[in-house]
């Protein structure tokens, strides 16, 4: 007597189940339309991206899908590459372009849009990174809130130096705004954005970082470190959450700024997506971080191209997909709908010269103004991957008053001595 | 067909264990050995080349002070959390088997926190610590109260508190099963012999429940050692990276700092430590087990 039907059935079902579970890991799509996938790493534009993808798919006969992950960009892409399922187009930070592009990205040098922008990333003469937007950092102000207290129009250019800024803070306090500033305690804001300006505002950031690495910098006597930390101290002393600085939530801080309970917060134009969730004041903007210096850095914002698209070059992506991906990038630059998507739908500042739409959001408008006037200090894109986390923790200690400025300087110097520099700095 | 032939036995074995065995290999065994191989390379996680570097990653892992700090912190957290989880779980189990009114309702109630995923639970408690407790503190003292999550010790306290809240219900179920499995007649016999209820508990019930203790300790220890989701959503390592547990450090090292090889070797060290603790504890626990 051989196997009974029941037993055969059991074997068949169990193996089917096993195979089914295994194949669920892979993906199988069989449609005639070219399908391209986009990885979006800007949470604030995810819904706009999805809507755009739907419309784009209908109009262009390309199946466009947008994905988002709250993981660190590099970590998320690592898992996608490890499973041989890279996105056709990935939106990454500048540093990721430098670390990924040569192995994973398509050379885009022959594309027409290259000459329309200064912000594209090229490595060894080949353009790999398509700039999505221009972003810049500075001090976000609420002009309406200031005017309400002082009774005068707020003109950011009057407060380039720390002394004049302090006077304004005092005036605000006297007028009843007891704590005119807010500080985001997030490590990326403190270390990757604020502390980074210490390097970025040096005459030659690469050389400065190399010197830090070699142990040749005494931060305590460094003019830039001190002038920026002086400003930080003023922000810290007048922080609405001074005693609870490291548990202050970003949303609360931004809400207070938007509604005018505080007047200043260090941040960038990406903060608009949070600010506009609240009952925001009409006249807001970004100004350079006030500083007692005469190198002109207190007249400029720090920033440049932010978030870059690159197209995957692996065999997991077909040539048809790559062509469709290039078409999509061209659409963003040259098509009226694409231009409007960047500026109006996502309220980003376009890095392309042929995109002359006016930015509706006030922070973006400030950035555009400074960018057009050539008043942007380029961001430093070669930071080691653990910089924001390790020194973010040190900055948080400083913010909480656990260490003083000299100890912070020591920690920064110690970090850089043991840090592995990227090839571009060496 | 003979039922003792090797091919028959193999066929039988494969029929039952085959599908599960294949899956187990595919998602546990193969990744484990592939991971072992990766510890000998300086792969960054995305690069196409995986240069062989020998034992460099292990050297780097042993020299990584942040890793050992995280591990030490994890040990402290685990020891306290495991003890508290088991005490609370045992007391709850005692409570809901003692015949109080509505004990099934309480059983379900205490178990529910375990059904909420660690991530959601972390965010909910973060809100409670950062907003609710702060608001209550301010209302009571009339001055600004810093959140518990803003100091290193406070953050550790919060992690332990939430873990206890999360796991106690689950462990309670195992203890409930343990209580139920102890024959009522044994306890009665002890009482007739003159034991007080607490003595009967200590000398009869608890020794007979030993297997429940072994299971609960094993489960709670391994879970606490590997804690990640709660760590991520509740404290995210803050303040000042002072609440980064071992698993989170491993993840950061591998994926955020892009030192995949070092992260993987640190993960392996963590695995070995967990395995040794787990096996030792089950071995010691089983050795003294008694049966009625």
Cα separation, A283 vs A145, in Å, equals: 9
Contact B257 A386 (CB under 8 A): yes
Contact A77 B239 (CB under 8 A): no
* Spans of chain B, pLDDT less than 70: 1-2, 45, 289-292
Virtual torsion, Cα B174, B178, B181, B184, nearest 10 deg: -140
CATH number for B115:
1.10.3720.10
Cα separation, B290 vs B288, in Å, equals: 6
Task: Output the average pLDDT for chain A.
Answer: 85
- Return all residues near B14 (Cβ < 8 A) that are at least 6 apart: B21
- Minimal Cβ distance to B26: which of A2, A14, A22: A22
Q: Which residues are paired to A285 by β-bridges?
A: A141
**Residue A13 at interface with chain B, using a CB cutoff of 8 Å:** no
In this structure, are residues A257 and A174 in contact, taking their beta carbons and an 8 Å threshold?
no
Interface size A-B, in CB pairs within 8 Å, comes to 99
**Residue B1 at interface with chain A, using a CB cutoff of 8 Å:** yes
Cα separation, A337 vs A314, in Å, equals: 30
pLDDT tens-digit series, residues B73-101: 999 999 999 999 999 999 999 888 887 88
**Residue B47 at interface with chain A, using a CB cutoff of 8 Å:** yes
What fold does the segment set A33-135+304-372 form as a domain? Answer: D-Maltodextrin-Binding Protein; domain 2 (3.40.190)
Over the Cα atoms of chain B, what is R_g?
24
- Mutation to test the A interface, candidates B256, B260, B261, B262, most A Cβ within 10 Å: B256
In this structure, are residues A105 and A97 in contact, taking their beta carbons and an 8 Å threshold?
yes
Any domain includes B177: yes
Half-sphere exposure of A74 (CA within 13 A, CB side): 26
In this structure, are residues B263 and B254 in contact, taking their beta carbons and an 8 Å threshold?
yes
**Residue B25 at interface with chain A, using a CB cutoff of 8 Å:** no
Cα separations in angstroms, B12 against A3, A15, B61: 11, 14, 45
- Minimal Cβ distance to B130: which of A71, A74, A247: A247
- Report the pLDDT value the prediction gives residue B110, as an integer from 0 to 100: 87
Cα separation, A145 vs A156, in Å, equals: 14
Q: What element of type H or E holds A136?
A: strand A126-142
Any domain includes B59: no
Cα separation, A162 vs A150, in Å, equals: 18
Whose structure tokens read 């039922």?
A: B3
Helix axes B260-287, B65-97, angle to 10 degrees: 40
Nearest CA in chain A to B47: A103
What is the nearest CA distance from B255 to chain A, expressed in angstroms? 5
B244 vs A contacts (CB less than 8 Å): none
Q: Which residues are paired to A40 by β-bridges?
A: A68
A384 vs B contacts (CB less than 8 Å): 257
> Please, which residues 150-169 of chain B have a Cβ atom closer than 8 Å to chain A?
150
Q: Which residues are paired to A387 by β-bridges?
A: none
What is the nearest CA distance from B186 to chain A, expressed in angstroms? 45
Cα angle A67, A70, A74 (rounded to 5 degrees) comes to 85
A14 vs B contacts (CB less than 8 Å): 15, 18-19
What is the nearest CA distance from B86 to chain A, expressed in angstroms? 31
Look at chain B and report how many structural domains it folds into.
Answer: 1
**Residue B12 at interface with chain A, using a CB cutoff of 8 Å:** no
String of b and e for A215-228 (b: at least 16 CB within 10 Å)? eebebeebebbbbb
- Report the pLDDT value the prediction gives residue A29, as an integer from 0 to 100: 44
**Residue B112 at interface with chain A, using a CB cutoff of 8 Å:** no
In this structure, are residues A230 and A260 in contact, taking their beta carbons and an 8 Å threshold?
no
Q: Domain span at residue B238?
A: 64-126+153-287
A136-303+376-418 maps to which CATH number?
3.40.190.10
- Minimal Cβ distance to A397: which of B45, B147, B240: B240
Q: Which residues are paired to A138 by β-bridges?
A: A267
Q: Which ranges of A201-310 would DSSP assign to H, the alpha helix?
A: 205-214, 223-237, 250-259, 272-275
Any domain includes B143: no
In this structure, are residues A71 and A21 in contact, taking their beta carbons and an 8 Å threshold?
no
- Report the pLDDT value the prediction gives residue A269, as an integer from 0 to 100: 86
Any domain includes B21: no
- Report the pLDDT value the prediction gives residue A26, as an integer from 0 to 100: 46
Domains A33-135+304-372 and A136-303+376-418 share a fold: yes
pLDDT tens-digit series, residues B178-217: 888 888 888 888 888 888 888 888 888 888 888 888 888 8
pLDDT tens-digit series, residues A234-262: 999 888 887 778 878 888 889 989 888 89
Cα separation, B124 vs B165, in Å, equals: 13
**Residue B149 at interface with chain A, using a CB cutoff of 8 Å:** yes
What are the domain boundaries of chain A?
33-135+304-372, 136-303+376-418
Whose structure tokens read 């592995």?
A: A420
B48 vs A contacts (CB less than 8 Å): 103
Q: Which residues are paired to A91 by β-bridges?
A: A309
Give the single-character DSSP code of A385.
T
Contact B255 A78 (CB under 8 A): yes
Any domain includes B201: yes
Virtual torsion, Cα B15, B16, B19, B22, nearest 10 deg: -100
Any domain includes B261: yes
**Predicted ipTM > 0.85:** no
Cα separation, B66 vs B169, in Å, equals: 33
> Please, which residues 104-133 of chain A have a Cβ atom closer than 8 Å to chain B?
104
What is the nearest CA distance from B236 to chain A, expressed in angstroms? 11
Any domain includes B33: no
Contact A386 B134 (CB under 8 A): no
Task: Give DSSP secondary structure letters for chain B.
Answer: --TTSHHHHHHHHHHHHHHHHHHHIIIIIHHHHHHHHHTTB---SS-S---B-TTHHHHHHHH-HHHHHHHHHHHHHHHHHHHHHHHHHHHHHHHHHTT-TTHHHHHHHHHGGGGS-HHHHHHHHHHIIIIIHHHHHHHHHSS----GGGSHHHHHHHHHHHHHHHHHHHHHHHHHHHHHHS-HHHHHHHHHTT--HHHHIIIIIHHHTHHHHHHHHHHHHHHHHT--HHHHHHTTT-STTTT--HHHHHHIIIIIS--HHHHHHHHHHHHHHHHHHHHHHHHHHHHT----
Contact A77 B46 (CB under 8 A): yes
Helix axes B30-38, B260-287, angle to 10 degrees: 130
- Report the pLDDT value the prediction gives residue A400, as an integer from 0 to 100: 87
Whose structure tokens read 């840090």?
A: A419
- Return all residues near A146 (Cβ < 8 A) that are at least 6 apart: A154, A168, A172, A263
> Please, which residues 236-275 of chain B have a Cβ atom closer than 8 Å to chain A?
237-242, 251-252, 255-258, 260
Any domain includes B30: no
**pTM score, two decimals?**
0.77
List the one residue out of A93, A133, A137, A121 whose CA is nearest residue A351.
A133
Please tell me whether the peptide bond between B239 and the residue prior to it is cis, using omega within 30 degrees of 0: yes
**Residue B41 at interface with chain A, using a CB cutoff of 8 Å:** no
pLDDT along chain A (426 residues), means of 10: 66 67 49 81 86 89 88 83 88 86 88 85 88 90 88 86 88 87 89 90 87 87 89 90 81 89 89 84 88 85 88 88 90 90 86 83 86 83 85 90 90 87 61
Contact B256 A74 (CB under 8 A): yes
**Residue A407 at interface with chain B, using a CB cutoff of 8 Å:** no
């Amino acid at each position: 007597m051989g196997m009974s039907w029941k037993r055969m059935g059991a074997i068949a079902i169990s193996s089917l189940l096993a195979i089914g579970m295994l194949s669920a890991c892979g993906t199988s799509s069989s449609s005639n339309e070219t399908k391209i996938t986009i990885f979006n790493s800007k949470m604030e534009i995810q819904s706009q991206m999805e809507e755009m993808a739907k419309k784009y798919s209908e109009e262009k006969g390309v199946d466009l899908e947008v994905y988002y992950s709250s993981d660190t960009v590099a970590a998320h892409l690592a898992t996608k590459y490890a499973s041989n399922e890279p996105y056709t187009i990935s939106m990454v930070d500048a540093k990721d372009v430098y670390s990924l592009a040569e192995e994973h990205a398509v050379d885009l040098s022959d594309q027409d849009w290259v000459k329309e922008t200064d912000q594209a990333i090229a490595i060894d003469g080949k353009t790999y990174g398509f700039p999505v937007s221009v972003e810049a950092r500075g001090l976000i102000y609420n002009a309406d809130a200031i005017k309400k207290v002082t009774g005068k129009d707020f003109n950011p250019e009057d407060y380039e130096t720390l002394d004049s800024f302090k006077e304004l803070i005092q005036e605000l306090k006297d007028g009843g705004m007891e704590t005119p500033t807010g500080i985001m305690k997030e490590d990326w804001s403190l270390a990757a954005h604020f502390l980074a300006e210490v390097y970025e505002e040096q005459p030659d950031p690469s050389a400065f970082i190399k010197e830090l690495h070699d142990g040749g910098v005494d931060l305590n006597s460094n003019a830039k470190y001190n002038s920026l930390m002086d400003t930080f101290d003023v922000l810290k002393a007048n922080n609405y959450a001074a005693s609870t600085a490291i548990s202050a939530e970003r949303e609360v801080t931004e809400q207070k700024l938007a509604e005018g309970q505080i007047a200043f917060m260090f941040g960038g134009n990406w903060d608009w997506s949070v600010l506009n969730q609240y009952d925001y004041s009409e006249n807001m903007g970004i100004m350079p971080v006030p500083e007692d210096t005469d190198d002109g850095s207190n007249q400029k914002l720090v920033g440049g191209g932010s978030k870059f698209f690159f197209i995957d070059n692996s065999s997991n992506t077909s040539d048809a997909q790559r062509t469709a991906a290039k078409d999509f990038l061209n659409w963003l630059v040259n098509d009226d709908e694409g231009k409007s998507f960047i500026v109006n739908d996502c309220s980003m500042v376009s890095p392309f010269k042929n995109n002359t739409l006016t930015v509706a959001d006030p922070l973006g408008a400030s950035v555009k103004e400074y960018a057009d006037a050539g008043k942007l200090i380029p961001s430093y894109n070669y930071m080691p991957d653990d910089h924001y986390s390790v020194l973010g923790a040190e900055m948080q200690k400083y913010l909480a008053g656990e260490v003083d400025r000299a100890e912070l300087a020591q920690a920064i110097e110690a970090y850089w001595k043991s840090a592995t520099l990227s090839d571009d700095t060496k | 067909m003979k039922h003792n032939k090797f091919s028959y036995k193999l066929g039988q074995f494969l029929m039952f264990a085959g599908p599960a065995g294949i899956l187990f290999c595919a998602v546990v065994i193969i990744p484990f050995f592939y991971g072992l191989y990766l510890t000998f390379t300086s792969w960054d996680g995305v690069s196409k080349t995986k240069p062989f570097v020998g034992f460099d990653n292990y050297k780097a892992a042993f020299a990584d002070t942040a890793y050992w700090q995280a591990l030490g912190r994890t040990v402290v957290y685990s020891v306290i959390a495991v003890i508290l989880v088991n005490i609370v779980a045992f007391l709850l189990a005692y409570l809901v088997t003692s015949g109080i009114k509505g004990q099934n309702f309480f059983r379900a109630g205490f178990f529910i926190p375990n059904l909420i995923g660690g991530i959601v639970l972390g965010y909910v408690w973060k809100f409670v610590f950062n907003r609710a407790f702060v608001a209550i503190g301010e209302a009571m003292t009339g001055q600004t109260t810093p959140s518990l999550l803003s100091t290193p010790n406070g953050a550790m306290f919060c992690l332990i508190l939430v873990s206890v809240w999360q796991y106690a219900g689950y462990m309670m179920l195992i203890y409930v099963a343990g209580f139920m499995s102890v024959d009522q007649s044994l306890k009665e016999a002890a009482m007739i012999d003159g034991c007080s209820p607490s003595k009967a508990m200590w000398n009869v019930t608890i020794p007979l429940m030993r297997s429940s203790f072994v299971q609960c300790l094993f489960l709670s220890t391994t879970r606490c050692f590997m804690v990640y989701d709660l760590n991520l959503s509740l404290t995210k390592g803050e303040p000042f990276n002072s609440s980064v547990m071992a698993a989170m450090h491993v993840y950061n090292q591998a994926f955020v700092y892009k030192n995949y090889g070092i992260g993987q070797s640190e993960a392996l060290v963590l695995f070995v430590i967990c395995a040794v603790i787990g096996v030792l504890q089950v071995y010691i626990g089983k050795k003294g087990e008694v049966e009625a």
